[in-house]
Structure 1
Amino acid sequence: MLRRVFTRALTTLNSPTADLYFADSCADWLRRGLVTRYAPTVFASATVRLVIRHDGRAGRASLRPRHVYLIDDAIDLDGADAALSRYWRFKLDNVERAAAARFLPGAAAAVVSSPALEGMIRARASGLDVRVLNPYWKTEFSSLSHHRADGPFRVAFLGSQVHGPDFAPLATMLRGFLDDWPEAELIVGGGHGGQVGHARARDLGAMGWRDWRAALPALQPHVALYPLAETPFNAARSLNKLIEHAVAGAAGLYARAWPGAALAVEAGAGLALGPDPAEWRAALDRLAANPLETREMAKAGAALAARLNDAEAQRRLWAELLEIDDGAQGVFGSD
């Protein structure tokens, strides 16, 4: 009973993980009744139940003979949550870790969002069928029309509430950057804009997932920042930011400790930086002074994201794991 109370209190009525890893790519299955959604993070076919992170608000009607579990956070890695706030550590303990303890034993398969999480789950459940899956955004990528010679140079931090400790080390540097570049603007997600405290720092506040996804294309940043503290939790993060930055139309500056940074550099789609704020300042100065390079980097980012943003790969995996015989494979729609 206490577990259910915590889950309801600490989770929302819409789930980015559920949308990005299942509901958007398989929306037509939901419309056609091949899959039923019983809760924000619980779905079921005729024979298999899918639990994404936790089973909050799902009733007994969702139970099936078999179940599959999806997790996209590092719940086990030693010291994984060291850079998280007290609230998020509490949520990990009382929602995600508690759910994994219930659903991994006896699962027909587990689906994870990064190779690091694959190793984590295999260490916990030897012999379990574990698959790695990238997220899928149904939102169109930016046309990059905002990358032009005139107008402000917009830098964005597209993090959520959980990313406050990751963003904090850059706050002083960003204030100095705005002072030195009068044509620059800063957009800050997750309610962290107050850390910068500058007239040209726009604080978007804390936004729910659906509102955030709707607002993102209109932000039109030229450069997006993805700083991460060097912890196992962050090293296990998915490649989602590569796709999200393409939706926004931004070149990416990424923490070198994150595996996605190497992919971005290899594709010419971003820069990989260490924890020293001076490195981030130098990268911002370089891109602010070279709008053509910034646009080409954003263009390469869109090409990389297009390769990762694969709805059909998701559908093939879920058709197998949820035992769905779909006569309309290759046809998908929005919810």
Structure 2
Amino acid sequence: MVRDSGVCGTRWLLLSDGALPTEDIYFMATAAPWLRYAGATVTRLDTRRWASPLLCWPWLDRTLSGAQVIVCRTLSEAWIDLLESRRAQLASVHYLLDDDLDAAAMDPGLPVRYRERMGWVSCRILPRLLALADEVVVASEELASRIRRRHSRVATLAPALLFSPEVATPEATLDGWRLGYYGTRAHLRDLEQIGSALVSVLEAHSGLTLEVAMGRYTPEPLRHHDRVSTPDPMAWKAFLGHLKGSRLHLGLAPLWPTRFNAAKSHIKFLEIAATGGVGLFSRRAPYSNIVSDGVDGLLVDDDPADWQRCLVRLLASPRDTHRMAQRALEKARDIGSPAHHRAFWHERQC
């Protein structure tokens, strides 16, 4: 039984600086429910709401003693000051990263405000969190190789599939194909690279619709097309609800060659599978490491013409496309099983 698993009495404290997707995918929605059921105490503390740790006194003083602390991506200097001053009280500190923040700060293709924030984090926050951490947990092998130059204990934890349909989206009819792209503004340039191919395919296939969840940031060739919907970027909980309600046949995951992109996880493979669709992925890591080309997805070259060719191939073969989507869903359930996360964090309980 789970309650005999040896986690009773363990106390976990996740100090949140607002990185809700990272927190849920790698801990709060995957391992935390199981840890709680097994007898551990798991608390998520919103450090943006409680900007000063003193506002949480004396409860926080008691909570920190013997706690296993998780920090995701960033944390304010006031809270880092607290952790540094109370480090001896803590059972462990685990720093969770799903992006190369240094690379983000230097990537000219990313939004300016995001680059500026990541530049500040890279200089002022990242070194202190690395120094505090007993272990750095990262989302890809490439990111692990980079962080190992700066920390002696680095572990890789792949993303989890938070939900999935029972079966892939039913086989498309001639006039009912649904295509989706759910990247953030950080991947606007990646989408721009294939914009012309998408317009060409839309013009040639009147039964195809495309959803791009970037609102007014959607690239111009697509933004005003009558079969392209452009919902505004969503907060995490709203995005999850939207994803659960989306039943796609095809999903897009272009990832052009940059240092920032090279450290990414394969989260888009899981997201596309969660909609019941099959994905078209750039032919590079992380996707080339997990996608069986032509079996549970397509790997596509860095050429708009190849993206157009691969889309046309899938549209021309609805039965084969459905089979690929079903295999992708099965693979996503395997590699994205929350059981991996439960085992990972169970091994680290004190």
More displaced 10-residue stretch of structure 1: 214-223 or 135-144: 135-144
| Corresponding residue for residue 317 of structure 2 | 290
Contact 1:261–1:271 (Cα < 8 Å) also in 2: no
Q: Aligned AA for 1:121?
A: I
Contact 1:77–1:232 (Cα < 8 Å) also in 2: yes
Distance 1:78 1:221, change over 3 A: closer
Shift of residue 277, structure 1, vs aligned partner = 0.5
| Corresponding residue for residue 74 of structure 2 | 54
Which ranges of structure 2 fall in alignment gaps of 5 or more residues? Answer: 1-15, 51-62
Distance 1:242 1:185, change over 3 A: same
Are 1:73 and 2:78 matched, yes or no? Answer: no
Distance 2:226 2:293 in 1: 36
Task: Choose the corresponding residue for 1:36, options 26, 43, 46.
Answer: 43
Contact 1:85–1:165 (Cα < 8 Å) also in 2: no
The percentage of aligned residue pairs carrying the same residue is 27
Which ranges of structure 1 fall in alignment gaps of 5 or more residues? Answer: 1-10, 324-335
| Corresponding residue for residue 23 of structure 2 | 18
Count of matched residue positions in the alignment of Structure 1 and Structure 2 = 311
| Corresponding residue for residue 27 of structure 1 | 32
Distance 1:152 1:44 in 2: 55
Task: Choose the corresponding residue for 1:144, options 158, 164, 168.
Answer: 168
With the length of structure 2 as denominator, give the TM-score of the two structures: 0.80
Distance 1:237 1:40, change over 3 A: farther
Higher RCO by CA contacts (8 Å cutoff, separation 6 or greater): 1
| Corresponding residue for residue 218 of structure 2 | 193
Are 1:270 and 2:297 matched, yes or no? Answer: yes
Distance 2:313 2:193 in 1: 20
3-state DSSP of counterpart to 1:70: strand
Distance 1:283 1:315 in 2: 37
3-state DSSP of counterpart to 2:69: strand
| Corresponding residue for residue 157 of structure 1 | 181
Are 1:84 and 2:110 matched, yes or no? Answer: yes
Contact 1:74–1:80 (Cα < 8 Å) also in 2: no
Distance 1:80 1:13, change over 3 A: closer
The higher radius of gyration belongs to: 2
Distance 1:153 1:134 in 2: 30
> How big is the alpha-carbon RMSD for the aligned residues of Structure 1 and Structure 2?
2.8
Distance 1:152 1:266, change over 3 A: closer
Shift of residue 307, structure 1, vs aligned partner = 1.3
More displaced 10-residue stretch of structure 1: 278-287 or 157-166: 157-166
| Corresponding residue for residue 6 of structure 2 | none
Q: Aligned AA for 2:167?
A: S
3-state DSSP of counterpart to 2:116: helix
Distance 1:208 1:12, change over 3 A: farther
Q: Aligned AA for 1:54?
A: T
Distance 1:133 1:45, change over 3 A: farther
Are 1:104 and 2:130 matched, yes or no? Answer: yes
Q: Aligned AA for 1:272?
A: L
Q: Aligned AA for 1:23?
A: M
Distance 1:110 1:297, change over 3 A: same
Shift of residue 318, structure 1, vs aligned partner = 1.5
Contact 2:160–2:337 (Cα < 8 Å) also in 1: yes
Contact 2:168–2:329 (Cα < 8 Å) also in 1: no
Contact 1:67–1:109 (Cα < 8 Å) also in 2: yes
More displaced 10-residue stretch of structure 1: 60-69 or 212-221: 60-69
Shift of residue 119, structure 1, vs aligned partner = 0.6
Distance 1:40 1:146 in 2: 44
Distance 1:155 1:92, change over 3 A: same
More displaced 10-residue stretch of structure 1: 156-165 or 137-146: 137-146
Shift of residue 40, structure 1, vs aligned partner = 7.0
3-state DSSP of counterpart to 2:44: strand
